[in-house]
Structure 1
Amino acid sequence: MEHFIEYVAKWMVDDPDAVRVERVDNGDHVAIQLNVHEDDMGRIIGREGRLAMAMRTLLSVAGHARAVDTSLDIR
């Protein structure tokens, strides 16, 4: 799951080397923390948060297939 988020984020930003993804497991909950350069925050979030919402939706679907609750934190 975190590899997918990293792939998408690196494709969207100007500075792909600054993209960092961390996975935090808490039992049946997985939190993915996406860190990008502050200049790329607007690109990741998108207009009215649509890109961030799309990534969260895809992450939720992937988690649901594995019976895991997921969340995406963008920093």
Structure 2
Amino acid sequence: MKALIETIIEPLVDYPESIAISEREEENKIVYHLQVHEEDVGKVIGKNGRIAKSIRTVVYAAGMKSNKRIFLDIM
């Protein structure tokens, strides 16, 4: 899942080397924390959060195979 998130985010940002994805797994959910360069935060979130919502939709759909809920936090 980390590779999928990185593949989606990389073309959007100016500093792809600053992408950091961490994972925290709990009993019934998996939370991914995405950190990007401070200048790229707006590009990842998008106008009115549209890009962030689209990224989350793709990640949630890819995680449907597991029995756990998937969450993506953008920091």
Q: Answer yes or no: same fold by TM over 0.5.
A: yes
Q: Could you tell me how far 1:28 is from its partner in structure 2?
A: 2.2
- CA distance in 1 between counterparts of 2:68 and 2:61 reads 10
Per-residue CA deviations over 1:16-69 (Å, capped at 9, x if unaligned) read 000001111112200010000110001000111111001111111122222220
Q: CA RMSD in A?
A: 0.9
- CA distance in 2 between counterparts of 1:56 and 1:62 reads 10
**Structure 2 stretches lacking a partner, 5+ long:** none
- CA distance in 2 between counterparts of 1:13 and 1:68 reads 29
Which contiguous aligned blocks of 4+ residues in structure 1 show a shift greater than 3 angstroms?
A: none
Aligned to 1:43: 43
- CA distance in 2 between counterparts of 1:55 and 1:68 reads 18
- CA distance in 1 between counterparts of 2:65 and 2:54 reads 17
Identity over the aligned pairs, expressed in percent? 32
Q: Does the alignment pair 1:25 with 2:25?
A: yes
The DSSP-based 3-state class of the residue aligned with 2:40 is: helix
TM-score by length of 2: 0.92
